Structure 1
Amino acid sequence: MLTERPRELRNSSIITEFILLGFSELLDLQLLLFVIFFIMYVITLLGNVFIVLVTTTDLALQSPMHFFLRNLALLEICFTLVIVPKMLVNLLAENKAISFLGCATQMYFFFFFGSTECFLLATMAYDHYAAICNPLHYTVIMNRKLCLQLALYSWFSGIPVGTVQTTWLFSFPFCGPNKVNHFFCDGPPVLKLVCGDTYLFEIYANAGTVLIVLSPFVLILVSYGCIITTILRMPSAEGRHKAFSTCSSHLIVVTLFYGTAGLTYCQPKSSYSGNLKKLLSLFYTVFTPMLNPIIYGLRNKEMKGAMRRLLSKKSTIIAVVGHERVGGPCGRGMAAQKCFKYNK
């Protein structure tokens, strides 16, 4: 429960905007931080857009695993769009203000996409469980209808979380100060600015964190417990290696996401540090979305094969177009492609 505020704060005017302090304690490094985070943001967008494009167009990547991977890549694009652009602007701008509505909107989508990612990672763990523990019935279990249902449940899980928590928090009075010690509108630092009794909200927020963060994590642990048991029973070393390599990318992503998110939201309030929270938040808002396409792209043979096929198609198209422009004998359209391959 928040302590009673001084009389001068209670009598101050209601605030209409917040100031995101961000990394204001590192004034001399603002430009360097902007360059670093901008490069990471571009890599994040390009990498995840590439995964969405490849898993949508390549016929060899139409399995349930790649369907959920496509959803994860799309989710990471949306997640970073909510946080990173505003952070980049504030690194260069003198005015680091965000409107009351803008702060509420950013917080809603942060909770929405964060909850979705928790359940989507659990869904991907179940997909790996079905593939390794029930390989003969995998196509029956993970049919198209179930995959769509699991994806929709994951996406819609964020709606009640974002709606209830954001609406309740911003229904409290904010009468100053208005400085948020973070680089985006997260729940705990904004809650510190409320000048009212937030005891019931804090109980709900803690219960919601346990439900949304830990429940999918328990499902992941149970799934991988069954997977590890099945792998250890495999007689072939090659089979064990292949089964483990199927799960390794997902395990790395889960460890990065849940490790930093758990340290951020499940630590005692007495040990809460604004700078530590900002550092941990950077991992699941900036670093992990950037690493996901790298992890899945470099460790997945099917993704690397699709990448080579896509680059091969592009090089062929460029060669055909270039041959036409220089007045080659192949003509245009499909005939040009056949003629080009023949002449080549």
Structure 2
Amino acid sequence: MRYLGLGLAVALLAAAWSGVWFYLAGQMPHWIDAWAQDERSRGTEVSWSALRVEGYPFRLVVVIDNPRMARPDGSWSGTRLTGYAQPWNLNHWILGFEGTHSLSDGQRTLGVSGGPLMASMRFAEGRLARLDVDLKAPVLTPSWLPGPITAERIEFHGMTDDGQPLAIAARAQALTLPDGVVQGLPPRIDAADLVGTLRGAAIPAPTRPHLAAWSRSGGVVEVTQAGLKAGSLDLVADGTFALDDLLRPQGAGVVRAAGLDAVIDSLVSQGRVAPQAGQAVKGALAIAGLAARDEAGRTQIPFAIQDGTLSVGPAPVAQVQPVL
């Protein structure tokens, strides 16, 4: 009799849980439709070719085929978007991006493929509080570059409290760039990372209008640590940066680097830096290295970016292009 009662209790719990799951699964398409209608009322085109909910009994898995969102200032479309959540915690979603996805600001496009391409979104009181992106073996195809960008892995992490600056961290491993994109560096970057704080208005999407609005709002990136390893170059830096009216980086900081002589020689051989300027910079680096080397043997020198020109110490060494 005792076992019969236990069995009935388990059956009732299973039936109750099944009812909860099927209720949420049935409501999910209606909630997504309501969100899409709200976005359409704001002038955003929202569409998909198919939507289904799976994952019984312990997950809600929302599969959206051929999703697309378009506004006057940009668009996103993709082959498939899959969202994963636990029925008891709809404030945390894991997103999977399958196939090829495309971002556009109306003039330029960025294709993203490879994979797995994953993101984690955590919400608090209806707002996005944390975003984590993990792209494994991604292939990025910017329309404004002569070829694709590939990597072993690219990660991004962003977290904020309501009204507070956005804390960010990013890292790329085995990043391969098209030839000539970054002057003076080999096409393969072994590792690059950045930790800092983003201040200013929110950036809904990485488009020129949104970046310009962020810049006008007093947008600033405070870099507490940035690192780059490529060939013989070993570099760490910190500083404070913004964007000028042409969306070129501007700001100042301190760089600690080893292997800069090879970079300068490459810039000179490419005609990007005059031979006399190259010799002057190498001389200044040698002098600075006598007084300021860290434990890794890197030379510490100040740098600045102003009016599209990168200056290392007192010497201008390269032109800086707009970020988009």
Shorter-chain TM-score range:
under 0.3
Normalized per residue, the structure richer in strand is 2
Greater RCO structure (CA 8 Å; 6+ sep): 1
Tell me the TM-score normalised to structure 1 length: 0.20
Normalized per residue, the structure richer in helix is 1
